[in-house]
């Protein structure tokens, strides 16, 4: 490891680290720079990045087109309040997102994190009913395995274990959580539940095709068609949380395209700025937006984050959308999918491995038992790769611009390190 820089030794005890028992977990790696698919550590080593900084960095780190757009915006105006003021980066981005998403989307609410975007979607769904004069529809139907954020409102629609519903009982709002309608039994259970409780619901919330942080669990497009049909039958708003799946990760620009159904509200974040600045969005259909369009000030959506529509973030997002138009991102995702399939398939059937699955630029090797995560992380770093499993789930969500050689280094490390340790 070598000696740590002075800033590290003096500062580490003063930062709260994410999702960490800081007393027992290994210390984080000191990092000083990132470029392309590489992380540069303070001791000079470079790691091949398999995670893309929680799957945000779809164009790799430091893409010059995004950097130049942000630098230009920094000179003009890094930030102004969005209340009473409108600026080009936000209005252009809103128009481009609506064009990209297609009908029935109309209006974009910008926020600064995915969790807030999901909270805004929940507030929109609940208040749209109130504005339409119907009270008592205060709940969202959510699904096991889901992840929608870490704030109280979003924890309440996460998987009950992941969202720690038992531990935080009393502090969290209560929403029903069912199994996704994957088969006849779960589809019937959904229908039985809706027959009894649809009138208490404002809408249905789901991550389309891939439940990401809840364990990289995939489902068939058919599941989304069943949810759309159920929402239509009961007059409920359907909310797709595309914060993980949006911007090409599953092989299409948005996951819902693969199911041929559209939600009423969609949330975007993570890859929105290509992993450069914190920005998220909640996009409402024309019908949802119409429920707020009124002469009654009480029908307004009362929400407005301080850094709403931050011009730097919007400039980065516009530049990221340019790259999806000018560089072959979806072709790159298809090539990554083929290489992940080839590179990870040798783990299939290895002792201790219970599943290997690939969807777009997402590769997953699931172990039967949780590995020794401390040993695993250390061996990955020794192998020159940055891979950060969740429990039994070892996954890759690399930049779409990763080279075939770097991607091979990642799949090889999973086979040689994780599959060996799992035996």
Q: Which residues are catalytic?
A: 19, 147, 241, 270
Tell me if residue 24 falls in helix, strand or coil.
coil
Q: Which residues pair with 34 in a beta bridge?
A: 39
Nearer to ligand PLP, 49 or 207 (CB): 207
Cβ contacts of 299 within 8 Å, gap of 6 or more: 131, 291, 292, 293
Q: How many residues bind ligand PLP (CB under 6 A)?
A: 15
Tell me if residue 396 falls in helix, strand or coil.
strand
Residue 9, token pair as written in the block: 């030794």
Pairing assessment for the beta strands 201-206 and 139-143 based on DSSP bridges? parallel
- Options 110-118, 192-200, 248-256, 284-292: segment touching ligand PLP (CB under 6 A): 110-118
Q: Is 82 left (phi over 0), alpha (psi -120 to 50) or beta?
A: alpha
Which of 89, 114, 271, 389 is in the footprint of ligand PLP by CB under 6 A? Answer: 114
Binding to ligand PLP in span 138-167, by CB under 6 A: 147-149
Nearer to ligand PLP, 154 or 332 (CB): 154
Nearer to ligand PLP, 51 or 194 (CB): 51
Nearer to ligand PLP, 113 or 131 (CB): 113
Residue 78, token pair as written in the block: 């890094």
Determine the Cα–Cα distance for residues 345 and 52; give it in Å rounded to an integer. 22
Give, as one character, the DSSP assignment of residue 179.
Answer: -
- Options 10-18, 90-98, 112-120, 400-408: segment touching ligand PLP (CB under 6 A): 112-120
Residue 103, token pair as written in the block: 């009908």
Tell me if residue 205 falls in helix, strand or coil.
strand
Which of 37, 73, 111, 115 is in the footprint of ligand PLP by CB under 6 A? Answer: 115
Nearer to ligand PLP, 361 or 381 (CB): 361
With residue 363 as reference, give the H or E element that holds it. strand 362-367
Which of 208, 269, 371, 398 is in the footprint of ligand PLP by CB under 6 A? Answer: 269
Which of 113, 285, 310, 339 is in the footprint of ligand PLP by CB under 6 A? Answer: 113
Nearer to ligand PLP, 131 or 245 (CB): 245
Yes or no: say if 105 and 329 are a contact pair by the CB < 8 Å rule: no
Yes or no: say if 388 and 417 are a contact pair by the CB < 8 Å rule: no
Q: Is 371 left (phi over 0), alpha (psi -120 to 50) or beta?
A: beta
Yes or no: say if 129 and 300 are a contact pair by the CB < 8 Å rule: no
CB of 326 to ligand PLP, least distance (A): 26
CB of 112 to ligand PLP, least distance (A): 8
CB of 143 to ligand PLP, least distance (A): 12
Q: Which of 273, 278, 312 is nearest to 78 (CA)?
A: 312
CB of 147 to ligand PLP, least distance (A): 6
* Cα 287-291-292 angle, rounded to 5 deg: 125
CB of 396 to ligand PLP, least distance (A): 16
- For position 389 contacting ligand PLP by CB under 6 A, the verdict is no
For the window 344-363, what string marks contact with ligand PLP as x by the rule CB under 6 A? Answer: --------------------
Q: Which residue in the shown chain puts its C-beta closest to ligand PLP?
A: 114
CB of 204 to ligand PLP, least distance (A): 15
Concatenate the DSSP letters of all residues of 383-408 into one string.
TTEE---BTTEEEE---TT--HHHHH
- Options 38-46, 108-116, 372-380, 387-395: segment touching ligand PLP (CB under 6 A): 108-116
Binding to ligand PLP in span 199-258, by CB under 6 A: 207, 212-213, 241, 243-244
What backbone torsions phi and psi does residue 375 show, to the nearest 5 degrees? -65, -40
**Quick one: 253 exposed, middle or buried, by C-beta within 10 A (0-12, 13-18, 19+)?**
buried
Nearer to ligand PLP, 121 or 344 (CB): 121
Q: Which residues bind ligand PLP (CB under 6 A)?
A: 113-115, 118, 147-149, 207, 212-213, 241, 243-244, 269-270
């Amino acid at each position: 490891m070598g000696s740590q820089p002075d800033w590290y030794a003096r500062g580490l005890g003063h930062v709260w680290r994410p999702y960490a028992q800081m007393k027992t977990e290994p210390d984080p790696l000191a990092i000083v720079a990132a470029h392309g698919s590489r992380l540069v550590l303070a001791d000079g080593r470079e790691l091949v990045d398999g995670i893309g900084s929680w799957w945000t960095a779809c164009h790799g780190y430091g893409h010059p087109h995004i950097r130049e757009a942000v630098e230009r915006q920094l000179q003009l105006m890094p930030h102004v309040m969005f209340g009473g003021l409108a600026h080009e980066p936000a209005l252009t981005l809103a128009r481009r997102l609506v064009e990209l998403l297609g009908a029935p989307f109309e209006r974009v609410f910008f926020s600064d994190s995915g969790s807030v975007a999901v909270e805004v979607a929940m507030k929109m769904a609940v208040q749209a009913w109130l504005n339409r004069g119907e009270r008592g529809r205060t709940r969202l139907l959510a699904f096991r395995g889901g992840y929608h954020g870490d704030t109280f409102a979003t924890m309440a629609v996460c998987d009950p274990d992941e969202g720690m519903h038992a531990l935080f009982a009393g502090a969290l709002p209560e929403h029903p959580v069912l199994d996704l309608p994957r088969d006849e039994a779960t589809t019937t259970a959904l229908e039985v539940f809706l027959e009894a409780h649809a009138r208490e619901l404002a809408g249905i919330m789901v991550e389309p095709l891939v439940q990401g942080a809840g364990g990289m669990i995939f489902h068939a497009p058919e599941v989304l068609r069943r949810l759309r049909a159920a929402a239509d039958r009961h007059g409920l708003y359907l909310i797709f949380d595309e914060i993980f799946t949006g911007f090409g990760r599953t092989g299409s620009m948005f996951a819902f395209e693969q199911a041929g159904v559209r939600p009423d509200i969609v949330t975007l974040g993570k890859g929105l700025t290509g992993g450069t600045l914190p920005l998220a969005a909640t996009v409402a259909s024309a019908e949802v937006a119409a429920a707020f369009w009124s002469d009654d000030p009480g029908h307004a959506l009362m929400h407005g984050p301080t850094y709403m529509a931050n011009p730097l973030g919007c400039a980065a997002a516009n530049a990221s959308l340019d790259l999806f138009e000018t560089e072959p991102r979806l072709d790159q995702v298809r090539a990554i999918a083929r290489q992940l399939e080839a590179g990870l398939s040798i783990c299939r059937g290895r002792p201790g491995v219970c599943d290997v699955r690939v969807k777009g630029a997402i590769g997953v090797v699931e172990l039967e038992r949780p590995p020794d995560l401390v040993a695993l992380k250390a061996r990955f770093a020794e192998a020159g790769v940055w891979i950060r499993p969740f429990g039994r789930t070892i996954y890759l969500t690399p930049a779409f611009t990763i080279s075939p050689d770097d991607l091979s280094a990642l799949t090889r490390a999973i086979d040689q390190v994780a599959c060996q340790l799992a035996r």
